[in-house]
Amino acid sequence: MHLPHQRGPLHDLPDTPEAYDAVLADVTEQALSRLTPEGNLEHPDAGDDIGDTSLGITSLLALAWQRGRDPRLPEAVRRSLAFHLRERVYTDDNPGYPNLRTTDSGLPYARYVLEAGAHPIGDWPSTVWALLQAVNVLDAADGLLDDEQRTELTELAHGYWRRLTEATFFNPQEAGNQAIGCVVGGLMLARHLPDAQGDQVRARALALYSDEIRAHRVRDRGALLPPEHGGAYDNNYGPISLSFLAQAHRVSGEEVFAEDGEALARYIDARLTSGGFDNGGPRYSEQHSGFESVLGLRYFSARIGADLGRYRGDTLPHCPKGVGGTPTGRHAVQRDGRIDGHFAFMLVWQIQDTTRWHRVPSTAPARHQLRSGTVSVAFDSRMTPSLVEAAGTYYLPAAVRRQHGFGPVTDGFLLCRPMGEVRVRDVSADGLAAKLVTKPVVGRDHVLRHVRSLYVTDGTSLWVTVAVERLDGAPYLLSGLPYAADDGDRVRRVAEGQVAAAGGLRLTHPADPGPDHFDARAELTQEQAAFALAADPRGYGNPDEGWRHLVGSTALEADPAPGAPEGLHVFAVRYGPGGSFSPAFDSDEQGLTVRTEAFTAVLGDPAGDAAGEPVLTLSVRART
């Protein structure tokens, strides 16, 4: 079984002008064949996210005319724009819309669903999208629109802006991508207004970003991020926010957008596996965006020097293989593969931006990431692995008695939550990359212990060694939940992985039935299980909160390694290929020495150096 949403890396898409001209040529033929006598360019099967979609395709036709001067396009643009101005502009308040500050304002808006009172909650973002489609048409208006249409469209776009910023609460869904998109719309609109009016709109857009978005950023993994549907980051909408930050910087030149975009980009780089798989967020657990993310990932991949395009895009339902040979990941489509105008502005901006993909990984160490070759570990804010990748297999944190993570377990208690400062040391040596994490923890017995976790990789395998003061009972190392594996341009579900341990190793599965016990052998995805446990309906709640209700899961459990120094329990696990695994340990005044078939590492005293920082030395062992 394949995961339904995560497909191939986005940077595999060609990014040349010729490739985009081919996309526009395909869009042009589809649009001209679809255009109704009334000028409608909407997909006949579209039902929601529809109020701006005809205008979106109009903007693509305007760009295609600007680039190629196809004589068929001016009439199509004018007719389709007239349709939007005549049939898709609403000024009467939508019955049931809850986020008005002023009723009966008469200001225009776009509907998420055309029927009055049907799902009005989506009207705010739909109006943002309509504003963005409108300013893209205005950008291409020279020689294409007559003065009357141009004036009417400019007034409409200004009305959309006022609706979003005066008549309604700003950002009512607490969705960073929508809010930054609105700011982008204001910045682009300002260029089409008289100077004084344009200056006012631009100043208001910048103030909204500063006061309503930037001031409310949420900290996660050491980064301040625009909040997304009640959380710090969402692996569907977070990269879309990155695209809006890229466009905001492109059109305004304001450094704040570059600074915040680079911070978000580095965060994404740290949480992404080498293979581009990611998991988690306040709106979706596994649903990744595709074409909506390309602009931001490409723009900031170049700025921070990281291969952000390894991000696995979602090619369904947004972008399966298009009709006429259009590559995936370019624009929204319906299930028949034909274009939908939703988010068409992202394709316009992709084409206009000349930045090329940076496809080489960053070599700078990152606190919340260890990455080399095909191996990677992403760490959460507590420096516990949130995702481990080795040999093409992805491991999630396992669950035991409602506790989630990677770490020593004694008497059912998982020792991974810090009680004090977490220290990190990164070291590299002759093709090896290592990270030592020292973490003070307190067990149920209220005894403070120092857990030292060493992660070493040669780019093919990952060695994890965990040392802690000796524990009572029969402790083991909770070593992850094998969940998914690469399968070409797809990701498939798995229930096992290539793992070896110095002590005994077990793959256990929950014996209890029910949604709060996750068995990796079942066909249920993590996303489905998380929503089954969430308090709100799918698409509205936070699946991460639901997943936190998980009581138990499939888990790798590693017994203590034999031969540990007195007073210590040491656990040693290798993820990925290799022969026999028999690490050796000893302790002296220099610290704990770990010898494996690939390296020798010395972990200094848990108290650290004179500044309390962890001490680690690493050297390669000659293979025999």
pLDDT single digits (tens) 40-96: 999 999 999 999 999 999 999 999 999 999 999 999 999 999 999 999 999 999 999
3-class DSSP state for residue 22? Answer: helix
Contact at 8 Å (CB) between 234 and 281? Answer: yes
Cα–Cα distance, 326 to 331 (Å, whole number) = 10
Residues 152-176: what's their mean pLDDT? 97
Tell me the average pLDDT of the chain: 94
The single-letter code of the amino acid at 492 is R
Let me know the angle formed at the C-alpha of 117 by 116 and 121, rounded to the nearest 5 degrees.
Answer: 120
Contact at 8 Å (CB) between 52 and 133? Answer: yes
- Tell me the pLDDT band of 489, cut-offs 50, 70 and 90: confident
Q: Tokens 């309604």 belong to which residue?
A: 168
User: DSSP labels for 467-511?
Assistant: EEE--SSS-EEE--EEEEEEETTEEEE-S---EEESS-EEEE---
Burial 250-265 (b: 16+ CB within 10 A, else e): bbbeeeebbebbbbbb
**What pLDDT sits at residue 323?**
42
Contact at 8 Å (CB) between 569 and 580? Answer: no
CA 464 to chain centre: 26
Q: Which two tokens mark 108?
A: 């225009």
DSSP 8-state assignment for residue 333: B
- CA separation (Å) from 159 to 105, 327, 467, 475, 581? 10, 36, 63, 65, 68
User: What spatial distance separates the first Cα and last Cα of the chain, rounded to whole Å?
Assistant: 40
Cα–Cα distance, 446 to 202 (Å, whole number) = 56
Cα–Cα distance, 271 to 276 (Å, whole number) = 9
Cα within 13 Å of Cα(314), Cβ side:
23
- Tell me the pLDDT band of 503, cut-offs 50, 70 and 90: very high
Ramachandran angles phi, psi of 150, nearest 5°: -65, -45
Contact at 8 Å (CB) between 405 and 550? Answer: no
CA 538 to chain centre: 18
**Which residues of 13-141 form beta strands (DSSP E)?**
none
Let me know the angle formed at the C-alpha of 527 by 525 and 531, rounded to the nearest 5 degrees.
Answer: 120
- For 378-415, what is each residue's pLDDT tens digit? 999 999 999 999 999 999 999 999 999 999 999 999 99
- Has residue 154 got a pLDDT over 50? yes
**What pLDDT sits at residue 315?**
60
- Has residue 622 got a pLDDT over 90? no
Residues 323-351: what's their mean pLDDT? 83
Contact at 8 Å (CB) between 2 and 493? Answer: yes
- Has residue 619 got a pLDDT over 90? yes
- CA separation (Å) from 428 to 384, 412, 458, 620? 20, 35, 10, 10
Residues 269-279: what's their mean pLDDT? 95
Which residues make Cβ contacts (< 8 Å) with residue 254, sequence separation at least 6? 206, 248
**What pLDDT sits at residue 335?**
85
Ramachandran angles phi, psi of 32, nearest 5°: -65, -35
Contact at 8 Å (CB) between 480 and 397? Answer: yes
Q: Tokens 């570059």 belong to which residue?
A: 258
Pairing of strands 407-410, 476-478: antiparallel
Pairing of strands 555-558, 505-508: antiparallel
Cα–Cα distance, 293 to 480 (Å, whole number) = 29
Contact at 8 Å (CB) between 215 and 204? Answer: no
% of the chain surpassing 90 pLDDT:
88
SS (H, E, C) 588-602: ECCEEEEECCCEEEE
Q: Biggest alpha carbon distance in the chain?
A: 86
Let me know the angle formed at the C-alpha of 24 by 20 and 27, rounded to the nearest 5 degrees.
Answer: 140
176 membership: H or E segment, kind and range: helix 176-190
Cα–Cα distance, 296 to 541 (Å, whole number) = 26
Cα–Cα distance, 384 to 464 (Å, whole number) = 12
Contact at 8 Å (CB) between 565 and 466? Answer: no
Residues 148-164: what's their mean pLDDT? 98
- CA separation (Å) from 391 to 305, 365, 379, 576? 25, 21, 19, 5
- For 228-247, what is each residue's pLDDT tens digit? 988 889 899 999 999 999 99
Ramachandran angles phi, psi of 45, nearest 5°: -95, 0
Residue of 400, 414, 406 whose CA lies nearest to 380: 406
- Tell me the pLDDT band of 590, cut-offs 50, 70 and 90: very high
Which residues make Cβ contacts (< 8 Å) with residue 175, sequence separation at least 6? 125, 228, 229, 237
Pairing of strands 499-501, 591-595: unpaired
Q: Which two tokens mark 456?
A: 């070493």
- Has residue 155 got a pLDDT over 90? yes
Whole-model pTM: value is: 0.96
User: ω before 317 within 30° of 0 (cis)?
Assistant: yes
**What pLDDT sits at residue 284?**
82
Cα–Cα distance, 206 to 260 (Å, whole number) = 14
Residue of 568, 573, 614 whose CA lies nearest to 596: 573
% of the chain surpassing 70 pLDDT:
97
Cα–Cα distance, 12 to 147 (Å, whole number) = 42
Residues 540-568: what's their mean pLDDT? 95
